[in-house]
């Protein structure tokens, strides 16, 4: 079964609204989680590193005020897309390393469509 779970799998929202995506590690604690974005037929692009108990680290070109990340507990990180626009429509995926770090698990992904 899944070791990293994302919710929701699909979400449609109106332009200008905010959407929250949750990423949970199941049966293990993840002090660090990662958020990726993937556009159709493209590879995964790292957006930010989510750190439990501290601020997220954003990759160059990613607006931290638009993509709010909160790592509230050792098993939950959330990504909030604020003031969403159609160009934010994408596949958002989170990942978390296992305790040893030899395996990095991905969540099921969340499809966001902004209309």
Partner 1 sequence: GQNIDQPTEMTATEGAIVQINCTYQTSGFNGLFWYQQHAGEAPTFLSYNVLDGLEEKGRFSSFLSRSKGYSYLLLKELQMKDSASYLCAARVNDYKLSFGAGTTVTVRA
Q: Kindly list the residues in this chain that would bind partner 1 in the complex (CB under 8 A).
A: 6, 32, 34, 42-46, 49, 91, 93, 95, 97, 101-109, 111
In angstroms, how far is CA 32 from the centroid of its own chain? 12
* Of 49 and 70, CB closest to partner 1: 49
The answer for 47, left when phi > 0, alpha when psi is -120 to 50, beta otherwise, is alpha
Radius of gyration of the chain (CA): 13
**Whole-angstrom Cα distance, residue 62 to residue 59?**
6
CB of 44 to partner 1, least distance (A): 5
CB of 83 to partner 1, least distance (A): 26
CB of 104 to partner 1, least distance (A): 6
* Of 38 and 82, CB closest to partner 1: 38
Residue 3 phi/psi, 5-degree rounding, is -105, -20
CA angle 96, 52, 4 (to 5 degrees): 25
* Of 28 and 82, CB closest to partner 1: 28
CB of 93 to partner 1, least distance (A): 5
* Of 4 and 114, CB closest to partner 1: 4
């Amino acid at each position: 079964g899944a070791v990293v779970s994302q919710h929701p799998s699909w979400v449609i929202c109106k332009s200008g609204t905010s959407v929250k995506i949750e990423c949970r590690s199941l049966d293990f604690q993840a002090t660090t989680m990662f958020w990726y974005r993937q556009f159709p037929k493209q590879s995964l692009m790292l957006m930010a590193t989510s750190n439990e108990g501290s601020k997220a680290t954003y990759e160059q070109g990613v607006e931290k005020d638009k993509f709010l990340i909160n790592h509230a507990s050792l098993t939950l990180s959330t990504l909030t897309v604020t003031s969403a626009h159609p160009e934010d429509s994408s596949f958002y995926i989170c990942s978390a390393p296992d305790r040893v770090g030899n395996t990095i698990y991905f969540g099921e992904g969340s499809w966001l469509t902004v209309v």
